[in-house]
Each structure stands twice: as C-alpha cells, then as structure tokens.
Amino acid sequence: MTDLPVPKTMRPRKIELGKQFPKIICLCGSTRFKVLFEIEAALLANDGHIVLTPSVYHHVDPNINPAGLDESHETITAEQEKIQNALHLAKLQISDEVFIINLGGYIGSSTQAQIDFAKHQKIPIKWLETPTIATNVATPA
C-alpha cells in the first residue's frame, strides 16, 4: 500500500521564511472579458496572491478583446460547460476571496450562481465595479 499525499486542507498554510501563506483569490465573471481576467490576474499575482481563473474562455467578445478570437477561444458543448462551471465552484471552495469582474455592471447567470455560492460559503467578495443592485443578472443575448 502506498502513502497518499496529505490533502491540501490538512497542509499547514505557510510558505518558507515564516511568511503567511498567500491569499487565494478566485476571479469570476463572464468569460467575454478575457483581457480583464488576464489584467486582474497579473495585478493580483504581482501583489503576492494565488489567482484562480476560468480555464476556458468560450464567450470571448472580439469587441472587448482587441486581438480578436485567439487559440484559447473554444466552442464547447453544453456538457463541457457544465463541467467548467462545476470546476469553477470547486475553485471557489478553496479560495479565501472572490473578485468579480463585472464590467458595465454585467453579471450573467453563471456568475450570479458563483456569487450566490460564495455568499453561502461566506467567502468575501470584491468587485471590479460596485454593483448597483443585489442581483444584476443580464438576460441572455
């Protein structure tokens, strides 16, 4: 029988030199804002945080992302989208904080579900733009 690795939740949250373990921040928002995800992830990482982001950007908007659709833009099936949403909820579970990318106040239904999950888990939420109402779910285009 082989020894299994210690689950992350049981590991001490410290890094070398006695520094506090970095804060884990999960970015949430519509994947149409890919460039903003990249900018925020870099800013937060440069501040010393571990940043979790979506793995697939399948709603990339070429009007928001000047480079247009690139190799990371993917068409995914409904089943794959369910998998990506479930994986993002798992990322939320291991996060210390959530950062919502809500350009123009836009919050889609998946992002709203993530916000609701974070609130239920009592994970602190920060916003790119201060929300104007508690629920600001956009209707699908």
Most confident of 13-17, 54-58, 126-130, 137-141: 126-130
Question: Could you give the angle at the alpha carbon of 42 between the alpha carbons of 131 and 47, nearest 5°?
Answer: 85
Q: What is the pLDDT of residues 69-85, one digit of tens each?
A: 444 456 778 888 888 88
Using the predicted structure, report yes or no on whether residue 60 has a pLDDT greater than 70.
Answer: no
Whole-structure pTM value: 0.73
User: Is residue 5 left, alpha or beta, with left meaning phi > 0 and alpha meaning psi from -120 to 50?
Assistant: beta
- Three-state SS for 103? helix
* Nearest by Cα to 126 from 85, 84, 96: 96
CATH number assigned to the domain with residue range 21-127, chosen from the 4 options 3.40.50.1220, 3.40.50.10400, 3.40.630.30, 3.20.20.70: 3.40.50.10400
